[in-house]
């Protein structure tokens, strides 16, 4: 029986995580991470509509099993809550 390896561990092993981090940082330099498309340079701590600069503050996290099964299968998904100041 093959043991389960979480996707984030596989991504780290294959280098895909590093690639995804670089892509996210590229998008942060002219922020288009959400539909507001502020285009501020968050790598320089500029703040757009969300008032979040270079580093987001995580207010909470938890496993989430409320999504439709075809989206999350048996392992659920995660929820991250950002602190808005």
Rule CB under 6 A: which residues touch ligand SF4? 31-34, 36-38, 40, 48-50, 52
CB of 19 to ligand SF4, least distance (A): 21
CA distance 69 to 78: 14
Which lies closer to ligand SF4 via its Cβ, residue 10 or residue 39?
39
CA distance 82 to 17: 21
CB of 48 to ligand SF4, least distance (A): 3
CB of 24 to ligand SF4, least distance (A): 11
Taking CA atoms, 39 is separated from 2, 22, 35, 44, 45, in Å, by: 44, 17, 11, 12, 12
């Amino acid at each position: 029986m093959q043991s389960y390896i979480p996707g984030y561990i596989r991504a780290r092993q294959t280098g895909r995580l590093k690639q995804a981090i670089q892509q996210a940082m590229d998008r942060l330099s002219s922020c288009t991470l959400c539909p507001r498309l502020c285009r501020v340079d968050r790598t320089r701590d500029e703040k757009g509509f969300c008032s979040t600069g270079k580093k987001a503050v995580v207010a909470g996290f938890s496993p989430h099993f409320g999504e439709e099964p075809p989206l999350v299968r048996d392992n659920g998904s995660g929820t991250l809550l950002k602190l808005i100041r």
